[in-house]
Amino acid sequence: MSKVLIKNIGTLQTPVGSYAHKGAEQGENLVLKNAAILIDKGIITEIISGDGANIKFRVEEEQKEADSVIDADGHLVTPGLVESHTHMIFGGYRQHELPKKLRGATYLDILREGGGINDTVRATRASSFEELYEKTSKFLDEVSSFGVTTCEIKSGYGLDFDTEVKCLEVLKKLNQEHPLDVVSTFMGAHALPPEFKGNIDEGKPDDKEGFFRLMNEKLLPYIAEHDLADFVDIFIEEEVFSVEEGRAYLEKAKELGYDIKVHADEIKSIGGTELAGEMKAKSAEHLIVADSKGIEALAKGGTVAVCLPGTSFYLGSTFAPVREMIEKEVPVAIATDFNPGSCPCLNLQLMMNLAILKYKMLPEEILTAVTVNAAAALNMENIVGTVEVGKQADLAIWSIDDFNMACYRYGSNLVKKTIKKGELI
Ligand code: NIG
Ligand code: FE
């Protein structure tokens, strides 16, 4: 099936241009009424719009030529959504943390006690390739039902050679076999695993050097050689990894040819955002407690700010200073952060509602944040993220008539059909 016609689009709304949109441009979308899209071999070849008789005739003629026709029923069509930050590959769940949280334990308290990420590491190490493949594949099916057509997934619940490689191999296979494009990020530096942890009672310090030897001398080179990841990320946070450790590690990753991402300023501000800007990271992610200095560094480094309102919501923390980022010309993307600890939610539409209410973003800014800016955070902006001729035909057909409604109604899935490379999924 090569020629596809999407007809009867009431409103087509999309950012324009294959680059990260910042400042005022973040809020600029093209809005076309009464449109149709022609697709050939998964690529958009023409966008027709208007309501004159000759346009109607043209669409009828195209319908005769098309191998398949998809009816948008007069509703809204946008680019397929781009999910730019998840930790979607893991064993087990962590619902047992909830009572602890209700008794007042914080995210870092639970991590310190050997729970949190450590718990998920145990469950992930115990999971087989097939189990991880099945579980992640179902998550991808679920995100695609919300209109997502490209999805980033970070490793980081293995933290040893075999499990990190296993997870990245699962992601590679999913990218080949699942309809969604899967972008994989190696996040072996997510937490210090138990085998490198010290013991205060025995006076034994953490062996961070040993851990980074494993990362730098074994894992990074192996992953580069076997082409198992698109990006490298590290969690820079108090009690996890310091700015100095991050800098040395990310330099090594860059030497091996990786683009880098940084988990920065999620809980305590220790300088991760500044480092991301300084090292020209492709993206800095979380940024809940980023300050003006950090934001200025991102602007200077051309780094995309990937903001994750679902995590603030779930951790009960403050929300990233997105208005200041937009004012200071930092391109902003929004993602879920889907993971078993700090955001067990994979509904990107819900993040759009939170972005309106908590980040005070405008609907047009939000559409840019979940499409082309998210694509730019993944080096995919030339392929996906806008509805333009030459782009991959990744689209969301909504059950509503305008994008404001998508930011206003919350809790329901407002996407009716998801189209990947011109085909319904
Ligand atoms: O992005 N910050 C680190 N990683 C995840 C949480 C991981 C977990 O708690 O399992 C995050 O919030
Ligand atoms: Fe995260």
Confidence of residue 256 (pLDDT cuts 50, 70, 90): very high
Q: Is the pLDDT of residue 405 over 90?
A: yes
- Cα(85) to ligand 2 centroid in Å equals 6
Confidence of residue 51 (pLDDT cuts 50, 70, 90): confident
- Cα(117) to ligand 1 centroid in Å equals 7
At residue 392, the pLDDT reads: 98
On average, the pLDDT of the chain sits at: 97
Q: How far apart are CA 84 and CA 336, in angstroms?
A: 8
At residue 299, the pLDDT reads: 98
Q: How far apart are CA 93 and CA 62, in angstroms?
A: 49
List, for residues 173-187, the tens digit of each pLDDT value.
Answer: 999 999 999 999 999
Confidence of residue 201 (pLDDT cuts 50, 70, 90): confident
Task: List the single range of 100-114, 165-179, 244-258 with lowest mean pLDDT.
Answer: 100-114
**346-367 average pLDDT score:** 98
Confidence of residue 112 (pLDDT cuts 50, 70, 90): confident
Q: Whose CA is nearest to atom 9 of ligand 1?
A: 341
At residue 200, the pLDDT reads: 82
337 Cβ below 6 A of ligand 1: yes
Q: Whose CA is nearest to atom 12 of ligand 1?
A: 342
Q: Whose CA is nearest to atom 11 of ligand 1?
A: 342
At residue 37, the pLDDT reads: 98
Cα–chain-centroid distance for residue 267? Answer: 19
422 Cβ below 6 A of ligand 1: no
Evaluate the CA torsion angle 165, 167, 171, 177 in order and state its sign.
Answer: positive
- Cα(87) to ligand 2 centroid in Å equals 6
**155-167 average pLDDT score:** 98
Task: List the single range of 112-116, 189-193, 260-264 with lowest mean pLDDT.
Answer: 112-116
**114-121 average pLDDT score:** 93
- Cα(172) to ligand 1 centroid in Å equals 22
**69-94 average pLDDT score:** 98
Residue listed under structure tokens 């057909």: 397
**257-266 average pLDDT score:** 97
381 Cβ below 6 A of ligand 1: no
- Cα(402) to ligand 2 centroid in Å equals 30
The ligand minimizing its distance to the Cα of 314 is 1
119 Cβ below 6 A of ligand 1: no
Judge whether 118 and 191 are in contact, CB under 8 Å: yes
Q: Whose CA is nearest to atom 1 of ligand 1?
A: 337
Strands 283-286 and 395-398: what pairing? unpaired
Judge whether 158 and 205 are in contact, CB under 8 Å: no
List, for residues 215-238, the tens digit of each pLDDT value.
Answer: 999 999 999 999 999 999 999 999
- Cα(236) to ligand 1 centroid in Å equals 11
Q: Is the pLDDT of residue 1 over 70?
A: no
- Percent over 70 (pLDDT), the chain: 100
DSSP 135-196: HHHHHHHHHHHTTEEEEEEE--S--SHHHHHHHHHHHHHHHHHSSSEEEEEEEEETS--GGG
Residue listed under structure tokens 């501000």: 269
116 Cβ below 6 A of ligand 1: yes
Residues with CB under 5 A from ligand 2 (ion): 337
